[in-house]
Amino acid sequence: MIRWLVFDCGDTIMRVWPDYTGPMAHWPQVEAMPGAATMLAALRGRYRLAQATNASESGAELVRAALARAGLDEAFEVIVTARDLGVSKPDPAFYGAVLAACGCAPDEAVMVGDSLALDVRPAQAAGMRAVWYCVRGDPSEGGEADETITDLRDLPDALARLDAGP
């Protein structure tokens, strides 16, 4: 049974502006990805939600501050950052730390992210299931993901299929 949803941050929940540097909380413009607020509101009562980000310049407090600027901070119970851990995705230790922070077994968590190499494959290697949010490229390339979505508002249906099992 899925208890935890673990989300990548950049280009999954929050839009990354390539011209900006430094902590996202300090960027001149901060914006949620299309459909993120609606999706999080739909899932918040059914699952516990976590952020797992490769942010190297932001600890959990700065990530939460960036999320707050987009009105999404209260959705996330746990925030894990590469800066705080001293290790980043795709290192298996990163995913071990995420699971420990959530206090759950790998089969109770689903990773949702925009990168097959950083989010999907390493989460699966850690025993989690993974949903690829294909915002760039061809969705047919995500055959290894447990589910592939191109719109965050489709995540609840993808999770229902995962919960239903094979």
Backbone angles phi, psi at 142, to 5 degrees: -95, 25
What pLDDT digit, counting tens, does each position of 14-46 carry?
A: 999 999 999 999 999 999 999 999 999 999 999
Say how many residues make up the chain.
166
DSSP annotation string for 101-128: HHT--GGGEEEEES-IIIIIHHHHHTT-
Compute the average pLDDT of residues 112-122: 96
- How far is it, in rounded angstroms, from Cα 118 to Cα 113? 8
- Supply the pTM of this predicted model: 0.95
Q: How far is CA 123 from CA 33, 67, 86, 146, in A?
A: 22, 23, 18, 11
Pick from 42, 31, 21, 110: nearest CA to 67:
31
